[in-house]
Structure 1
Amino acid sequence: MTRDIAKVPGPFAGLSVKLIAAIALVILLVEVAVFLPSLANYRVGWLEDRLRVGGVAVRVFDTVPDVMDLPAEITDPLLQAAGAIAIVYRREGQTDLIGLEAVTMPEQPHLADLRDTNPMRLIVEALDTLVMGGQRTLRIVGVPPGAGDAVVEILMPESPLRADLLTYAGNIVLVSIVIAGVTAFVIYVLAENLLIGPIKRLTNQMLAFRESPENGTLVIVPDAARKDEIGILERALADTQAELFAMLRQRRHLADLGMAVSKINHDLRNMLTSAQLLSDQVANLDDPQVQRLAPRLVTTLDKAIAFAQTVLDYGRQQSAPPRAEPVDLRALGFEAALSAALTGHPRIVFENQVPDDCVISVDPDHLARVLTNLFTNAREALDASPEISSPHVRLSREHTGDGVRLVVADNGPGLPPRARENLFVAFEGSARAGGTGLGLAIVRELVEANGGRVELLATERGTAFAIDLPSGAAAGG
Structure 2
Amino acid sequence: MANEQFDAPKRVIFGLSMKLITMIIAMIMVVEVLIYLPSVANFRISWMDDRVHVAGVAARVIETVPDTMDLTPDMIGKLLSSAEAEALVIRTEGQSQLIERPDMPMPVAAYAADTRERAPLDLIAGALEILFFGSNRTMRVIGVPMDSQDVVVEVLVNEALLRQELIAYSRNIFWLSLLVASFTSFAIFLFLNGLLIRPITRLTRNMVAFQQDPDDARKIIVPSERRDEVGIAERELAAMESNLFTMLKQKQHLADLGLAVAKINHDLRNTLGSAQLLSDQVANLDDPHVQRLAPRLVNTLDRAIKFCQSVLDYGRHKSVAPKFEQVDLRALLDESASEAAIRVHPEIEWLNQVEDDVIISVDPDQIARVFTNLFKNAREALETHSLKNGDHPSILANLIVDQAQVCLTIADNGPGLSPRAKDNLFRAFEGSGRAGGTGLGLAIAKELVEAHGGALKYIPEESGTKFEICLPR
TM class by shorter chain equals over 0.9
Give the conservation status (yes or no) of the 8 Å contact 2:109–2:139: no
2: CA distance, partners of 1:7 / 1:180: 29
1:428 to 415, 427, 430: 430
Aligned to 2:191: 190
Q: Which moved more, 1:5-14 or 1:34-43?
A: 5-14
- 1:262 Cα offset (Å): 0.5
2: CA distance, partners of 1:430 / 1:5: 50
Give the conservation status (yes or no) of the 8 Å contact 1:68–1:98: no
Aligned to 1:49: 50
Secondary structure class of the residue paired with 1:10: helix
1: CA distance, partners of 2:284 / 2:266: 28
1:409-424 aligned within 5 A: 409-424=411-426
2: CA distance, partners of 1:428 / 1:343: 29
Aligned to 1:207: 208
Aligned to 1:474: none
- The change in CA–CA distance for 1:27 and 1:67 in structure 2 (over 3 A counts) is farther
- The change in CA–CA distance for 1:132 and 1:286 in structure 2 (over 3 A counts) is closer
Q: Which moved more, 1:250-259 or 1:329-338?
A: 329-338
- 1:438 Cα offset (Å): 1.0
- The change in CA–CA distance for 1:177 and 1:470 in structure 2 (over 3 A counts) is same
Secondary structure class of the residue paired with 2:48: helix
- 1:260 Cα offset (Å): 0.5
Q: Deviations over 1:175-222 (max 9, x none)?
A: 011011112212222222222212222222111111111111111111
Give the conservation status (yes or no) of the 8 Å contact 1:58–1:147: no
Aligned to 2:257: 257
Q: Which moved more, 1:415-424 or 1:51-60?
A: 51-60
- The change in CA–CA distance for 1:5 and 1:180 in structure 2 (over 3 A counts) is closer
1:240 aligns with 2:254: no
Paired amino acid for 1:205: N
Give TM-score, length-normalised by structure 2: 0.93
2: CA distance, partners of 1:131 / 1:277: 105
1: CA distance, partners of 2:407 / 2:293: 48
Q: Which moved more, 1:150-159 or 1:76-85?
A: 76-85
1:439-450 aligned within 5 A: 439-450=441-452
1: CA distance, partners of 2:387 / 2:301: 27
Aligned to 2:363: 363
- Percentage of identical aligned residues: 53
- 1:149 Cα offset (Å): 5.0
Give the conservation status (yes or no) of the 8 Å contact 2:86–2:107: no
Secondary structure class of the residue paired with 1:454: strand
- The change in CA–CA distance for 1:286 and 1:5 in structure 2 (over 3 A counts) is farther
Give the conservation status (yes or no) of the 8 Å contact 2:387–2:393: no
Aligned to 1:216: 217
- 1:147 Cα offset (Å): 3.2
Give the conservation status (yes or no) of the 8 Å contact 2:108–2:138: no
Aligned to 1:475: none
1: CA distance, partners of 2:298 / 2:123: 108
Paired amino acid for 2:159: E
Secondary structure class of the residue paired with 1:98: strand
Aligned to 1:14: 15
Q: Deviations over 1:218-276 (max 9, x none)?
A: 111111x2122221111111111111111111111000100010011111111112222
1: CA distance, partners of 2:284 / 2:200: 78
1:169 aligns with 2:170: yes
Residues matched between the structures, number:
468
Q: Which moved more, 1:174-183 or 1:397-406?
A: 397-406
Q: CA RMSD in A?
A: 2.2
- 1:14 Cα offset (Å): 1.5
2: CA distance, partners of 1:137 / 1:205: 69
Give the conservation status (yes or no) of the 8 Å contact 1:140–1:153: yes
1: CA distance, partners of 2:87 / 2:462: 112
Paired amino acid for 2:422: R
2: CA distance, partners of 1:135 / 1:285: 130
2: CA distance, partners of 1:164 / 1:341: 101
2: CA distance, partners of 1:251 / 1:357: 46
Q: Which moved more, 1:3-12 or 1:45-54?
A: 3-12
Secondary structure class of the residue paired with 2:205: helix
Paired amino acid for 1:369: R
Secondary structure class of the residue paired with 2:12: coil
2: CA distance, partners of 1:144 / 1:397: 97
Give the conservation status (yes or no) of the 8 Å contact 2:135–2:159: yes
Structure 2 unmatched runs, 5+? none
2:464 to 459, 462, 465: 462
Structure 1 unmatched runs, 5+? 472-477
- The change in CA–CA distance for 1:442 and 1:67 in structure 2 (over 3 A counts) is farther
1: CA distance, partners of 2:317 / 2:133: 83
Q: Deviations over 1:81-106 (max 9, x none)?
A: 22223221224433222233333211
Aligned to 1:114: 115
- The change in CA–CA distance for 1:14 and 1:4 in structure 2 (over 3 A counts) is closer
2: CA distance, partners of 1:169 / 1:460: 90
Give the conservation status (yes or no) of the 8 Å contact 2:87–2:155: yes
Paired amino acid for 1:193: G
Paired amino acid for 1:120: L
- The change in CA–CA distance for 1:67 and 1:201 in structure 2 (over 3 A counts) is farther
1: CA distance, partners of 2:208 / 2:416: 51
- The change in CA–CA distance for 1:126 and 1:419 in structure 2 (over 3 A counts) is same
Q: Deviations over 1:360-419 (max 9, x none)?
A: 111111101111111111112222221342121111221133121111111122222222
Secondary structure class of the residue paired with 1:12: helix
Paired amino acid for 1:455: K
